[in-house]
Amino acid sequence: MKTKLFLLLFFVLTYLGISQTPGYDLWMNYKQIDNEKLNKSYQKATTSLAVLGKSETIQAIKNELQLALPQLLEKQPEIKSVVEERSSLIIATLDALPSNIKKQFSAAVDNLGDEGFIIKSIKIEKNTKLVVTAHTEIGLLYGTFRVLALMQQLEELTNLNLVDSPKIDIRMLNHWDNLDRTVERGYAGFSLWNWQKLPEYIDQRYVDYARANASIGINAVSLTNVNANALILTPMYLEKVKALAKTFRPYGIKVYLTARFSAPIEIGGLETADPLDQKVIDWWQAKADEIYSLIPNFGGFLVKANSEGQPGPQNYDRNHVDGANMMAKALAPHNGNVIWRAFVYSEHDADDRAKQAYSEFVPYDGKFLPNVLVQVKNGAIDFQPREPFHPMFGAMPKTHIMMEFQITKEYLGFSTHLVYLPKLYEEVLEADTYQEGKGSTVAKVLDGSLQGQQITGMAGVANIGNDLNWTGHPFGQADWYGFGRLAWDPYLDSEKIADEWLRMTFSNDEKFIAPIKEMMVTSREAVVNYMNPLGLHHIFDTGHHYGPGPWVSELSRPEWNPVYYHQADENGIGFDRTPSGSNATAQYAQPVAEMFNDPKTCPEEYLLWFHHLPWDYQLKNGETLWNGLAKKYQKGVNQVAKMQETWNQMKPYVSAEQHKEVNMLLTIQYKEAKWWRDACLLYFQTFSKQELPVGVEKPEHDLEYYKSLKFPFAPGIRPRWN
């Protein structure tokens, strides 16, 4: 009978892995602990649980334990609301702990903050107990998820003394979701938010989304596209937002909304949206009051103003400070924030697009109200496979500067390319701005440790949609996971994050972990090689950004055209941003500017970002620029082939369906890597007029073929009302 039941269980679980909905559970799939010794140890640690408190957050903690432990340990947990002698795992705030336990927590608690937690093994008489404690229940929730993660990763739970707290305050997902459920730059289906069925219908998925975020410490979400629609601020929609906010609240997640600057006109019936007009000021104040009466823990507004056609204060001859501070005043009485995006470049400014955000914003340093954060993309152009860090980081010491990463792969192959983004994030976070001398990394700017900012934040543009597996590509889940982990602690190692994610998602088997971790951490360099090597950027096809379009030149604004960015001609290729060119390098601290200015000291991965160089310019390895460029493209293709090879050997470690799924996606990635190589090299060859070097495969088609490809229904394009 035992065998039979085991068999049944095996079939049920196999079935789950096969034809149900693989990937839905993300890194929280709580696979059975098959290490016998650890299983026993975990059993012991969870013999009897005491979870103190009655709030919705405490209920969420209990729910998670009741969901996880039966799967991890084949055991339904016994959960009490009081600490007993036999309690083996105690989860309680410091205030709620019995005094004999509380006294075992020393000064460490002083630095915990509102969201930190302690996981500590203590001895009471002869019994070892594991205690999860924190100042707040949200801290307990985070601690609970950490305990479960430790089990999932087969870490010991004995002799623990783990103290952790987030280094950044606002750890946020930005959903670019439209009210019709299309998602701008979304490649994982459509928006999770089913506005039609809200507020009455609360999809279980909303809860699972909140669980996933809480498990990695994400505590804020902006629900709507930064290319905003004012209707979200009308009573009918606010009732729906309220329902989502209520669902997320137990998980410590605050809701933000994108505020269209012209909303006072569009839904308020005013004739102006001038931020200094008293009626406009009153309208926003009343709107803020209305929102907070519905959603007491509302986060605030995220605003894209005077950028790519969005309205803003400049429409009324006011500036960003006028606009942001007006909204900030409306939110301040409710402790709400304004997150004001710095992604601006003007059709009236002929200067290098890379310079414009800095030029426009840095003079305002110190002028924004305390509840304003300025959200800056990681690089000065737009989420390219590789960009040098944005010069604004460290350049506004009296401003709350917030990071904006992109988790969705607008310029990185949509959801069909396996590209492990935490590697990219890490590169940016570790970059040294030199703004306060050597060691002034972007991470230190962001967490306030360099310049003392009082509110800190990191946002990621979500890669989440209603695909069964949330992110389209199973490995896209690692980007969501990794973003959350780095927002919690921007000093974490991306390789360690990959390790965690692989163990929790797939397997703890080293024969799987080692090669796949290697595949992940090298995947980002692969995409740079086959799309944008040596500092090339923004040579994507127009509008949808799917595939190569280095030849595109006919768009109305010069800086929308790839030819603007690569500047290829018979003399060479690259954008001169040194003093002999746009002088964008002057926006960096002097040691950085000097390094970038000289092609000999400029890191080669940024070479053509900062320099226009002749085709026969000699690279560090002795190759000519043309040959080196061509070989980088080929290398990228080869790297994808290697990824395919690696994955092919992984059949023993994942289900047949998981294996097949990633295989199909790698087939697409390989096809498209070749497409990038062939299209770009054929096009640049019209300028270099040189043969492809040995080792670079001949293109499958001619240039005209690649130029003829059209994708009118590529996903993620901008909604048509913008």
Which residue bears the tokens 């949206």? 273
- 202 binds its own copies, rule: CB under 8 A: yes
Q: Is 282 a catalytic residue?
A: no
Least CB distance to its own copies at residue 257 (A): 15
The residue annotated as part of the active site, out of 410, 427, 447, 541, is 410
286 vs 656, which CB is nearer to its own copies?
656
- Could you tell me which stretch among 16-24, 87-95, 491-499, 645-653 binds its own copies (CB under 8 A)? 16-24
325 vs 463, which CB is nearer to its own copies?
463
Output the CA angle 399-402-407, nearest 5 degrees: 165
555 vs 714, which CB is nearer to its own copies?
714
Least CB distance to its own copies at residue 397 (A): 43
C-alpha span between 401 and 106 (Å, rounded): 34
| Spacing of C-alpha 172 from chain mean position | 8
The residue annotated as part of the active site, out of 78, 180, 308, 605, is 308
- 76 binds its own copies, rule: CB under 8 A: yes
Give the amino acid at 129.
Answer: K
Q: Order across the sheet with 161-164: list the strands.
A: 79-80, 49-51, 89-91, 127-133, 117-124, 161-164
Beta strands in 95-205 (DSSP E): 117-124, 127-133, 161-164, 170-174
Q: Is 382 a catalytic residue?
A: yes
Least CB distance to its own copies at residue 268 (A): 16
Among 138, 96, 88, which Cα is nearest to 117's? 138
117 vs 195, which CB is nearer to its own copies?
195
Write out the H or E segment, with its range, that includes residue 405: strand 400-406
- 416 binds its own copies, rule: CB under 8 A: yes
- Please pick, from the candidates 47, 81, 201, 701, the single residue that binds its own copies as defined by CB under 8 A: 201
C-alpha span between 457 and 159 (Å, rounded): 33
- 664 binds its own copies, rule: CB under 8 A: yes
Cβ–Cβ < 8 Å for 341, 306: no
Output the CA angle 514-520-525, nearest 5 degrees: 130
- 153 binds its own copies, rule: CB under 8 A: no
C-alpha span between 125 and 494 (Å, rounded): 41
Q: Tell me the two tokens of residue 621.
A: 């390895």
- Please pick, from the candidates 196, 335, 571, 686, the single residue that binds its own copies as defined by CB under 8 A: 196
Least CB distance to its own copies at residue 474 (A): 12
- Please pick, from the candidates 13, 94, 150, 162, the single residue that binds its own copies as defined by CB under 8 A: 13
* Burial status of residue 161 (CB atoms within 10 A of its CB: 0-12, 13-18, 19 or more): exposed
Cβ–Cβ < 8 Å for 298, 245: yes
C-alpha span between 590 and 158 (Å, rounded): 50
Largest Cα–Cα separation, the chain: 82
Contacts of 4 (CB under 8 A, 6+ apart): none
- 6 binds its own copies, rule: CB under 8 A: yes
Cβ–Cβ < 8 Å for 325, 371: no
- 158 binds its own copies, rule: CB under 8 A: no
75 vs 367, which CB is nearer to its own copies?
75
Three-state SS annotation for 47-107: CCEEECCCCHHHHHHHHHHHHHHHHHHCCCCCEECCCCCCCCEEECCHHHCCHHHHCCCCH
- Please pick, from the candidates 207, 281, 555, 641, the single residue that binds its own copies as defined by CB under 8 A: 207
C-alpha span between 70 and 93 (Å, rounded): 25
Contacts of 428 (CB under 8 A, 6+ apart): 378, 379, 389, 403, 405, 442
- 205 binds its own copies, rule: CB under 8 A: yes
- 665 binds its own copies, rule: CB under 8 A: yes
Least CB distance to its own copies at residue 200 (A): 5
- 706 binds its own copies, rule: CB under 8 A: no
- 641 binds its own copies, rule: CB under 8 A: no
Q: Is the peptide bond between 275 and the residue preceding it cis, with omega within 30 degrees of 0?
A: no
3-state secondary structure of 435: strand
Least CB distance to its own copies at residue 346 (A): 29
Least CB distance to its own copies at residue 183 (A): 11
- 657 binds its own copies, rule: CB under 8 A: yes
- Please pick, from the candidates 41, 43, 48, 71, the single residue that binds its own copies as defined by CB under 8 A: 71
- 712 binds its own copies, rule: CB under 8 A: yes
Number of residues this chain uses to bind its own copies (CB under 8 A): 61
The residue annotated as part of the active site, out of 25, 360, 382, 479, is 382
Could you give phi then psi for residue 521, rounded to 5 degrees? -70, -20
- Please pick, from the candidates 114, 208, 308, 489, the single residue that binds its own copies as defined by CB under 8 A: 208
- Please pick, from the candidates 27, 42, 145, 187, the single residue that binds its own copies as defined by CB under 8 A: 187
17 vs 397, which CB is nearer to its own copies?
17
Q: Is 308 a catalytic residue?
A: yes
C-alpha distances out from residue 621 to 615, 628, 629, 665, Å: 15, 9, 12, 33
- 286 binds its own copies, rule: CB under 8 A: no
- Please pick, from the candidates 667, 686, 695, 705, the single residue that binds its own copies as defined by CB under 8 A: 667
- 656 binds its own copies, rule: CB under 8 A: no
Q: Which residues in 85-114 contact its own copies (CB under 8 A)?
A: none
- 514 binds its own copies, rule: CB under 8 A: no
- 193 binds its own copies, rule: CB under 8 A: no
* Burial status of residue 669 (CB atoms within 10 A of its CB: 0-12, 13-18, 19 or more): buried
- 430 binds its own copies, rule: CB under 8 A: no
- Please pick, from the candidates 114, 308, 322, 661, the single residue that binds its own copies as defined by CB under 8 A: 661
- Please pick, from the candidates 116, 139, 189, 535, the single residue that binds its own copies as defined by CB under 8 A: 189
- 67 binds its own copies, rule: CB under 8 A: yes
Whole-number CA gyration radius for the chain: 26
- 2 binds its own copies, rule: CB under 8 A: yes
3-state secondary structure of 471: coil
Cβ–Cβ < 8 Å for 478, 420: yes
Length of the chain as a residue count: 722
Least CB distance to its own copies at residue 29 (A): 10
Which residue bears the tokens 């007491």? 296
Least CB distance to its own copies at residue 202 (A): 7
- Please pick, from the candidates 128, 285, 315, 466, the single residue that binds its own copies as defined by CB under 8 A: 466
Least CB distance to its own copies at residue 1 (A): 5
Catalytic amino acids? 308, 382, 410
Residue ranges that bind its own copies, judged by CB under 8 A: 1-2, 4-9, 11-13, 15-16, 18-22, 24-25, 67, 70-71, 74-76, 179-182, 187, 189-190, 195-197, 200-202, 204-205, 207-208, 231, 414, 416, 466-468, 657, 661, 664-665, 667-668, 671, 712-715, 720
